[in-house]
Structure 1
Amino acid sequence: MNSANISIRYLGPDKKVVRAGFHKTSNLKKAFAEFELFFEEKLKQGYTHWIMDLQGLAFPTSSMIAFFISATVRTRSHGGEVTLINASESARNNFVTFSPLTFLSIENDERQVLRDFDVELGTPSHHENTTILDGVDIAEPPEVDVFSEIVQDDPAPAADKNHPQEDEVAPLPNIATRDTRAHSSEKRQYRFETESSPSNLYAMCNFVVEHAAHAGISEKHISKIKISIYEACLNVIEHAYHSRPGNPIELRVAYDSSQFKVEILDHGLSFNERKRREYDVEAAMENRQTGGFGMHIIERAMDEIDYVSDPVNGNCLTLIKHLPA
């Protein structure tokens, strides 16, 4: 299988080691779907040793990362291995921020799961297996790794904020050949609203990443911005809303030729910003201290940070990245 999107080579004396390379493409979703089918076919034929070159995958989605994990588990069960090579800094950061808790659908109430699956809650008939759910954790992966539609000044009808659909994906510009339309005096502004659920973290990050790419920001700095957004939004979910879902989070992005600005707004408990001492990473590791590390990451990644708490309008965290002239 060799195409404009994927290249395949067979290595080793017996040609049983498969090297797969991903090329930069505007339709990565289609290309990866083709590769998944190819992997399934070759695995059945006994090809269990794979080298996957990620040079063309600057921003692997959570579904792609889950596939790499699944492929590794399956090949290892047959004595094989999957090795990833040439992962960029942004790709590595996507792997670092990937979390099964935000990818999988986890529900404590089995009755709610049955309702979601349109299963009657009454007495089951003799045709139904009444023990199939005993002791089983149901986990169905929601699609949380895609871009939701961008809501601008004249918004179109909103999609389901908790389950953004893959067919609404706007392809990320090719980082190597990105246009420079944002490098003008015209200010571009966009807005995205969702709810305070960990399953929405990837949609929030991807919304910002898409516009950072359009703004002409380098891949290296985009990866830092993504981690900052992840940490900031996670703080809102866990601390402002105490992990209670269903509360509003709004992201606003504005950029021109001089700066890229992100505002994160919520109506939860405010953060009493105090003058912080310089974060000592070594001391924190020695003392097993976890608090404060997220803000440390944000401060290192962004050029300006501002926080305003208003009893009427809510809380607003502003993050600014200066753009080179």
Structure 2
Amino acid sequence: MSDASFSLNGTHPTVNWLGQVRAPGTPGSLPLIRQTVVEAAETCGFCDEDVAKIEMAVGEACTNIIEHSYSTQPLNLDIEVKVGRYDNRLEVTILDYSSINFAVDQMAAVPLDDYIATGRRRGLGLFIIQSFVDKVEHRFVCGQGNELKLTKFFA
């Protein structure tokens, strides 16, 4: 997508599209997705810590799609990631084409102390997503899939 800004009928905030990638919903696609997001976050001037947090949140969201949504699907489905800069924030929109409603914004993450007490080695994805970005929004459209929007506001 181009770096051109646009506004729809003057009612939507102007967005500068910084990157877009559509890739197979497989673990092998994660480095490309992460790199796209890192480059966009760096372009926005986020500090190294925030860039890493955004990268991890997106990586965890995509891993959840691959492991929990796509593992039960009969087809090879893609993941699409779009990164946009607004006046006060960076938004990463992640689209999947699963028939499973995976409402990340409505799920409770396991508290970190509880997680540590169990000795588990996996299962922090929701905690990372919800803790490392400022806003998590989800929309599911039957027959189309999930749209997850992760927002990080500028300081």
Q: Normalised by the size of structure 2, how large is the TM-score? A: 0.81
Please list every run of 5 or more consecutive structure 2 residues that lacks an aligned counterpart in the other structure: 3-12
Structure 1 distance, partners of 2:41, 2:134, is: 15
Residues 103 and 138, structure 2, Cα contact 8 Å, conserved in 1: no
Structure 2 distance, partners of 1:272, 1:257, is: 27
Structure 2 distance, partners of 1:271, 1:320, is: 18
**The one of 98, 114, 117 aligned to 1:286:** 117
Offset at 1:249? 0.6
Q: Secondary structure at the match of 1:216?
A: coil
Q: Secondary structure at the match of 2:102?
A: coil
Structure of higher CA gyration radius: 1
Structure 1 distance, partners of 2:21, 2:97, is: 15
Structure 2 distance, partners of 1:271, 1:321, is: 21
> Does residue 130 of structure 2 align to residue 302 of structure 1?
no
**The one of 238, 246, 249 aligned to 2:76:** 246
> Does residue 97 of structure 2 align to residue 267 of structure 1?
yes
Residues 60 and 129, structure 2, Cα contact 8 Å, conserved in 1: yes
Residue 5 of structure 2 corresponds to none
Give % identity. 25
Q: Larger % of helix: which?
A: 2
How much is the aligned-residue C-alpha RMSD, in angstroms? 2.3
Offset at 1:275? 4.6
Alignment of 1:148-187 (within 5 A): 152=1, 187=15
Residue 49 of structure 2 corresponds to 220
Q: Larger % of strand: which?
A: 2
Residue 106 of structure 1 corresponds to none
Offset at 1:267? 1.0
Residue 65 of structure 2 corresponds to 236
Shift of the 277–248 alpha-carbon distance from structure 1 to 2, 3 Å rule, reads closer
Structure 2 distance, partners of 1:226, 1:307, is: 18
Residue 210 of structure 1 corresponds to 39
Structure 2 distance, partners of 1:319, 1:221, is: 13
Structure 2 distance, partners of 1:273, 1:209, is: 22
Structure 2 distance, partners of 1:310, 1:222, is: 30
Offset at 1:282? 2.1
Residues 197 and 243, structure 1, Cα contact 8 Å, conserved in 2: no
Structure 2 distance, partners of 1:199, 1:278, is: 26
Shift of the 274–254 alpha-carbon distance from structure 1 to 2, 3 Å rule, reads closer
Offset at 1:278? 5.9
Structure 1 distance, partners of 2:37, 2:105, is: 27
Offset at 1:292? 4.4
